[in-house]
Structure 1
Amino acid sequence: MVLTKAKSSLQLSLCHDTADNALTSASFHPQTMAESWALDKKAIPSDPNAFVFRNGSRDGRWYLYFYERESGGRHLRVLKDGNGTYPKPDISGQDDAWMLGVATFIDLKAKADRGEAIRSISFAEMAQQFLAKEQKKISSVPLQGITAARYRLLANQMRWLRDYVGDDKKPIHKFRRSAFLNYETWRKERAIQIGKKIPVQTTILQEMSTLKRAFEEVGVAHGFVTRESLPEIPRIKLPKDQKHRRDDFSDKEWLELEKSSRLWWSKGLQRTFDEQGQLLKDSSGKYITTVSVDGLSPRSAAQLIHRQLIYFAMRISMDSGIRPGSLRKIKWKHISENTAIPKAERKTWIIVEVPPENTKTARYYRISAPIARHLEALRDITRFKKPDDLLFVNQRTGQAFSERIWKDAFAEALVEARLADWADDDSNNQRRINIHSGKNLTWYSFRHTHISMRLKAGVPVPVIAANTDTSMKYIEDHYFHYRADEATDLLSKGRKTIKAAENHLHWIG
């Protein structure tokens, strides 16, 4: 093959040799190789796109060039024998280099034919590339990228994973399928060894999730390993008291979500952050905000109302436990006054004829809920108030909110509340988020939280079951988690005065 003269600015990107003589890659074409360094070429039989040559810009070392036709990848590999000895860096070493090149080519061609990845990268390099990619996402602009705190968390997770692997130079394609199955046990024992707090299960789950992302977003995405050959990422078992628990909001999470949605997000405002991801305040202690939806154009005005409607959808969901699918079907005609209670209480509690979800009981049921004030606020906002109008509608069309409005609004509200960050693969079409707690928070989480809070408040299970249209067994299996230390008041009901011990119980514990 005759080589043409390349431009003087031509550069060949070669990786450094690794301990296991891993394959290196470069973005070039053989026809563009400069004669000044591509010396003494000798073709590999049966493949015109593979040959051995001596690199004049690398002290005359011998290399194999291999073009992977199926994927279009071009690869280089420095040639040396099993003892690490390089062929002589001149024409006298051509025969030895050619023999090594043929053997290497056969091995690489077999991998390519089997669909295995040819390129190689070490675990440490994969971790570094993953974190470098995440670091570029750091932004102080609200709802854009990730915070500096989120990046520090990812970096800390990768440090634990590298500590577990114990070999930064190990190529990722050489990991056994079972390589990480013992991570949970190691992680806890390692924490004890270095005097750290034993991690909870959700922490380990998040670390495994970060590991999976690193393998997929660097290893698989750049062709260093195939998805089929990835090591198995173990499923971390939750404690028995959390095994069937539905993901709900903690008290603190709900307070943050409600406050941020009411004060900023529903008003088209965003709080701002410094480079460390901390919320900025002015001299009076108030949060510094920017306008995200100004409400000036017809479209943005409707969008602002939509945010307010979504906020009240959250409040109604939390205070009633209505399923999301049913909530979206409620019309004004489904609301009625509760005549069985005093008039003063009717300003708080109302009756709802809850329409069915398509995938649930497929029947209406009646509930009592303290949502009168929320409904009153809704009527002040919405343009659609006729009996057959839905509570939550697009203010420009009068039609039901699209699934995208529900999904995007929920994600935006979680990010504004600092309960989540936008995911690295987020776009305006996907709106993907990473939830800080590792929970799978959805619109259903309001229902789960409602049931959990009513149980904690001491409402009998039969009452909750009837008012949320589910069974007592289902609540007991999925929500009811007995806590003896919180049950004293309930256990004391109906008892006469109980005599206390005469002395303080110093012997306990």
Structure 2
Amino acid sequence: MTKAHHEMMDGRLHVYTRDGSRFWQCSTFLNERNWRTSTKTDSLAEAKDFAEDWYLTLRGKHRAGTLKHERTFAQAADQFKEEYEALTDGERNATYVAGHWRRLNLHLLPFFGKLGLSEVKPAKVQEYRIKRRKEIVKGKSTAPARSTIKQEMVTLRQVLNTAVLHGWLEAAPSLKEQYRKSGKVSHRAWFSPDEYKQLYEATRERAQKPKRANYKEDAEDLHDFVLFMANTGLRPDEVKLIQFRDVKIVKDIATKQTILEIDVRGKRGVGFCKSTAGAVLPFQRVQKRRKGQPTDRVFPVGHQELFNTILVEQKLKFDREGQRRTIYSLRHTYICLRLMEGADIYQIAKNCRTSVKMIEDFYASHIKDLLDTASINVRRPRSYRKREPEARQGDSAG
């Protein structure tokens, strides 16, 4: 409810206060709609000065034909939030959804928020990319990774598509990156069989001989964590959510081996995973050591710091292409080792909750064991090669 009201510019401009706010507001009617804003001051004199400048600016834009009535990017973002949460409730992992909101609040809204939707053009998106590439990531000395900015573009596209859906924007602009480097596909950082052996032997030694006595349990957890990850292929975010009740030790009918059946909850919702036999003993050790209750998490801590310390000590932090190895590299190791053992690529994709194309592009393309030497090094019989010229002469003579 309006508490105080003043008219200016022969009644074309209004300055007033409302319940619940100590600041003066101002409003006017231009271009067949009402325009309102806050003066951000509780002084009437300052509010009148602000309102007059604001009104004259709007009228100048109106006369120049640049005063447009359109939704802002921030309004489209609010609509996207409301719809996305309602329509994907329970279908998207909470961490994945939170990533959208984090990218919006930290980066996209501060840059695009006040812009009209028609102002979000390819050139503006390019300006945003340049700005982000010049920023330094907090706690690091490098700019955001290309994959980080790519995720921000995904969120940006979602907001623009929401605007198109509601008719606020005729078409979403192109978000294609200009001057991009070669689209060459590189493999994901992983541990070769020898490197993986070197890693788990190092974690086992650390578990047996920790630097300090009170570090022993953490070192034991890390050793079992490495073995569990490399024998299940779980994503790091998935393994953090696994509770003891999600894991069952079963006798596999097909292989006659004892394995784990795991109910997985991750970015693609609920899925299932069957481990190799190598994951059973680490799981049993963790369960015994922690006396895990059904609702307790199996690996509530990722031990990232100790894992990186061991990688550096073993000179395993980077692969030969200079790619940085992380906890995620254990998932990549599982996929590569299974393919090297001759596992069916479709079954691996299902077990890892990913696509065959993803595996073909980032894993299978660099594994030499997948090349069939018998087909590559095929040779014609020597007797056939001797008779071939004679056959050709007979053909030409005829």
Could you tell me the TM-score, scaled by structure 2's length? 0.45
Q: TM-score, normalised by structure 1?
A: 0.36
